[in-house]
């Protein structure tokens, strides 16, 4: 995670945030789905991968706020129709953050810093 700069992280998630601000939530979803699809195809994550994401915003003139979320999903002997995927969790957590006024969160898998959503 340390090789990813704050600026590149903000730039990656800022594109989606701009789409969400300029259009409705429904019009932003296709762009998010395309980004998620590209990230999911690029990297296959181990089933026990930890995912980490953070987002920033400025509140007031000189106050910078940050939210950081980490998670791991483990499905044990679960039928595929009932499995909960890391991508589903990442999208839900990002939507939750956006509903509270934060920019969307892009989650990265570790140890290799590859985007999940």
The pLDDT tens digits of the residues spanning 43-87 come to 788 888 899 999 999 888 888 999 999 999 998 899 999 999 999
| Residue 99 tokens, joined | 């509903």
Q: Supply the pTM of this predicted model.
A: 0.60
- Lateral strand order in the sheet of 64-71: 64-71, 51-58, 107-109, 114-115
**Res 9: pLDDT:** 42
Q: Is 88 helix (H, G, I), strand (E, B) or coil?
A: helix
Q: How far apart are CA 116 and CA 103, in angstroms?
A: 16
């Amino acid at each position: 995670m340390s090789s990813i700069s704050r600026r590149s992280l903000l730039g990656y998630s800022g594109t989606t945030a701009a789409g969400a601000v300029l259009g409705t939530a429904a019009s932003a979803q296709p762009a998010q789905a395309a980004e998620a699809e590209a990230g999911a195809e690029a990297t296959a994550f181990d089933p026990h991968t930890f995912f980490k994401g953070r987002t920033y915003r400025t509140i007031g003139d000189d106050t910078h706020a940050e939210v950081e979320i980490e998670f791991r999903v483990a499905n044990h002997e679960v039928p595929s129709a009932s499995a909960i995927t890391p991508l589903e969790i990442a999208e839900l957590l990002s939507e939750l953050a956006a509903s509270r006024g934060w920019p969307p969160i892009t989650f990265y898998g570790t140890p290799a810093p590859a985007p999940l959503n």
